[in-house]
A and B are shown apart, each in its own frame.
Chain A
């Protein structure tokens, strides 16, 4: 089955740019989605289809996908961005949905 690899943790100073990666075999050919999960809350979709943002998600959240890595970029990081972030895609070979292991973003 398809495997997505995320770093367990990323730290960034407030106001700086956070970059969260999601690695997978030839992931650049797939459509990747990103979720934010604050403690005690349900996940929230922040980027879908590699780079699209749902209504209500700030422009500070952006996504890209190429080669073997998809990336979620959060510009001008705020304290409220501190959360766990998960990448996810559809594995067309199995018709299964797959999550990465998640990345804890800490705002310093």
Chain B
């Protein structure tokens, strides 16, 4: 059974940093790209960024709204993908989901809530 479990969410002050983790199991993690998708309260889904598999270079790509502030990385030995979020803003308040990325998102975690507030 495929499982994705996000962790690391919480309340953080504007300008501070937070790192989310997504621990996966049930599939060959190293063969897959992984994406982060977020959803602000009462709003739609927003793609945050993704990281390619090592086979395709292992490089990340980001949405314009987070580029330069967020960093996605992966540890294939642990089947974990990370989202490092710096210089957080109130507009980053959202539920953050990690997903398996095959140009579409077939498996999702349950999400972790990040609240940016003073």
Give me the interface of A with B, judged by CB distance under 8 Å. Answer: 1, 31, 33, 35, 37, 42-45, 48-49, 54, 84, 86, 88, 90, 94-102
Q: Of the candidates B44, B103, B104, B110, which one forms a contact with A42 in the assembled complex, judged by CB atoms under 8 Å apart?
A: B110
Q: Of the candidates A31, A37, A99, A102, which one forms a contact with B47 in the assembled complex, judged by CB atoms under 8 Å apart?
A: A99
Residues of B within 8 A of A98 (CB): 47
Give complex CA distance A96, B48 in Å: 9
In the bound complex, do residue A86 and residue B45 qualify as a contact, i.e. CB atoms below 8 Å apart?
A: yes
In the bound complex, do residue B45 and residue A96 qualify as a contact, i.e. CB atoms below 8 Å apart?
A: no
Residues of B within 8 A of A97 (CB): 35, 47, 50, 101, 103, 105
In the bound complex, do residue B110 and residue A99 qualify as a contact, i.e. CB atoms below 8 Å apart?
A: no
In the bound complex, do residue B45 and residue A43 qualify as a contact, i.e. CB atoms below 8 Å apart?
A: yes
Residue among B46, B101, B104 facing the most chain A CB atoms (10 A cut-off): B104
Q: Of the candidates A31, A48, A95, A101, which one forms a contact with B61 in the assembled complex, judged by CB atoms under 8 Å apart?
A: A95
- A–B Cβ pairs within 8 angstroms, 6 of them: A31-B103, A31-B104, A42-B108, A94-B61, A97-B35, A98-B47
Residues of B within 8 A of A100 (CB): 44
Interface size on B, residues (CB 8 A): 20
Residues of A within 8 A of B50 (CB): 97
State the Cβ distance, B96 to closest chain A Cβ, in Å. 11
In the bound complex, do residue B61 and residue A88 qualify as a contact, i.e. CB atoms below 8 Å apart?
A: no
Instruction: Write the chain A residue with the least CB distance to B4.
Output: A42
Whether, in the assembled complex, B1 has its beta carbon less than 8 Å from a beta carbon of chain A, the answer is no
State whether A1 and B64 are in contact (beta carbons under 8 Å apart), knowing that A31-B103, A90-B103, A99-B46 are contacts in the complex.
yes
Residues of A within 8 A of B106 (CB): 45, 48, 54
In the bound complex, do residue A88 and residue B105 qualify as a contact, i.e. CB atoms below 8 Å apart?
A: yes
Give complex CA distance A98, B44 in Å: 12
Residues of A within 8 A of B111 (CB): 42
Give complex CA distance A98, B106 in Å: 15
In the bound complex, do residue A102 and residue B108 qualify as a contact, i.e. CB atoms below 8 Å apart?
A: no
Residues of B within 8 A of A102 (CB): 44-45
Give complex CA distance A86, B100 in Å: 17
